[in-house]
Amino acid sequence: MLRDALETGGIWSIARGLARRESEYKEHLERCDELRHGDLDGRGNLSTACLADFAEFFLRVCLDQITFMASLVQPDRLRNRVVLWTQDEIRKGTLPPHALAVVESLLNRGEVPRGDIPILAATSERTARRITAALQTHGVVTSASPRAPLRFAFPTTLASQWMPGLFPDRP
């Protein structure tokens, strides 16, 4: 439920935090099955206090993982890394010259209607389609359908450039 609600695209996971505290996690899970401790421990058969302890533990682990991910991703610097990557790809010729305007708009808004691309890039519709296709080829944008708005994406192929330290380097 948490994974679906956060819509992180798989970048953030609570699994790392729970794995680091496996014995404590299992202990809390076991305690959730305890019978209630007296008349003031909830209304059902199981202990509400133990469930509340587990929820508090789980949320502490979530906060710990958010802090960890923020230190790796460095969101305050992410925008700059994406812009530098885009400029580099334009120099290499793998992205059309006006792609930077589209990427910056996506960074600001998260989503851009396809009809806005020619205006943002100050180009023709044909060039706007080339920009969109190139960004899709790199995995930088995604879309639910050919007519749906473009959404910014974080392709795993660019993770080491955009979010250094997120994944360990391969030997």
Q: What does 67-92 look like in DSSP terms, one character per residue?
A: HHHHHHH-HHHHHHHHHHHHHHHHHH
3-state DSSP assignment of residue 111: strand
pLDDT digits (tens, 9 = 90+) for 13-69: 788 888 888 999 999 988 888 777 767 666 677 788 888 899 999 999 999 988 887
pLDDT digits (tens, 9 = 90+) for 87-119: 999 999 999 999 999 999 999 988 999 999 999
- 95 to 78, 112, 132, 151: CA distances (angstroms): 19, 18, 10, 17
pTM, entire model:
0.61
Going by the DSSP 8-state scheme, the letter that residue 157 receives in this structure is G
Q: Is the pLDDT of residue 166 over 70?
A: no
CA–CA separation, 58 and 34 (whole Å): 18
Contact 47, 36 (CB under 8 A): yes
Contact 135, 103 (CB under 8 A): yes
pLDDT at 7: 55
Q: Is the pLDDT of residue 75 over 90?
A: no
